[in-house]
Structure 1
Amino acid sequence: MKQITYIKGDATVPQAKGTKLIVHICNNIGGWGKGFVVAISKRWPEPEKAYREWHRNRAKNDFELGSIQVIQVSNDKYVGNIVAQQGIKTGSKGVPIRYEAVKTCLEKISIEAKKLNASIHMPRIGCGLAGGKWTEIEPLVEQTLLEKDLDVYVYDFD
């Protein structure tokens, strides 16, 4: 089985040849404006626009925990908006991250990455504002992406 390649740097500037799919976690309430999404929006307007439209029309589409959206932002780069965060605040049900939704999303991302023949690039998803632990997320990445023989790069911003 492949291993995760850990890189010091910016996940919005993926360090690999070929097609790249940058994956990050979104919440299920339409909020976009803090955390890694800020770096995405500074680089490309399309992922935020697509996410907001997806949320706005949620009565007519699949916008919910466990759903994904893949947006092409250049010839060889795509951004995967994955909905795996319940709201934005820690409450009675704990931190916002939903590990089961992360797993479902990553399973769907693996299918899209295979179709695109893309490597996967991400920060330590779910471990910032969502409040998750990498010790919980890393095995999900292994089960859903590495076992599908995908190249996975995880970035730690300096």
Structure 2
Amino acid sequence: MSEITYVRGDATAPSGQGPRLIVHVCNDIGGWGKGFVRALSRRWPEPERAFRRWHRERADNDFALGAVQFVPVEPDLWVANLVGQRGIRRAGSRAVPVRYEAIDEGLTAVAARAAELGASVHMPRIGCGLAGGAWSRVEPLITERLVRRGTPVTVYDHDG
């Protein structure tokens, strides 16, 4: 069984050739503007536009915790908007918005799409930035849903 590969770098510039999925965690209130999404939006406008439309039209689609939206951004490259946090962190609150069950559910969908495409998966430490999650809880989900199924996974720790 392979393992997660950890690298220093930018998850919006995933290494390797062939089909690749960039996975990140979004909130369930339609907010986009802080954290990793800023880097995505600087590189491609499509993931933000698609996410905002998906949220706006949620009465008629599958937008919910655990859902994933796959947005093509370049040939053989997609951004996976995974809804894995309830709301956003409020100033002074101890509550964290990460929802591990939703990340787990979303990673199941990512695994299916990666297998369908023959894609590798690339991500920052999802759910552990603004969502407030613990990598010790997220990493086993990635291992179970992706790595054990033979999907190559690279996790990027950004310099800066």
- TM-score by length of structure 1 reads 0.97
* 1:38 aligns to 2:23 (yes or no): no
How many residues align? The count is 158
* 1:53 aligns to 2:50 (yes or no): no
Which 4+ runs in 1 deviate beyond 2 A? 90-94
Identity of aligned residues (%): 56
Deviation per residue, 1:92-141 (Å, 9 max, x gap): 78200000000000001000111111100000001100000100000000
Residue matched to 2:97: 96
Q: Would the alpha carbon gap of residues 32 and 64 (structure 1) be closer, same or farther in structure 2, given more than 3 Å must change?
A: same
Whole-angstrom CA distance in 2 between matches of 1:93 and 1:129: 13
Q: CA deviation at 1:46?
A: 0.4
Residue matched to 1:148: 149
Residue matched to 1:22: 22
Whole-angstrom CA distance in 1 between matches of 2:93 and 2:73: 38
Whole-angstrom CA distance in 2 between matches of 1:16 and 1:134: 24
Whole-angstrom CA distance in 2 between matches of 1:42 and 1:68: 21
Whole-angstrom CA distance in 2 between matches of 1:20 and 1:87: 28
Residue matched to 1:65: 65
Whole-angstrom CA distance in 1 between matches of 2:111 and 2:59: 26
Residue matched to 1:8: 8
Whole-angstrom CA distance in 1 between matches of 2:94 and 2:61: 26
RMSD of aligned Cα (Å): 1.2
Residue matched to 1:113: 114
Whole-angstrom CA distance in 2 between matches of 1:41 and 1:93: 29
- TM-score by length of structure 2 reads 0.96
Deviation per residue, 1:54-82 (Å, 9 max, x gap): 00000111100010000110112100000
Q: Structure 2, unaligned stretches of length 5 or more?
A: none
Give the match's secondary structure for 1:15. Answer: coil
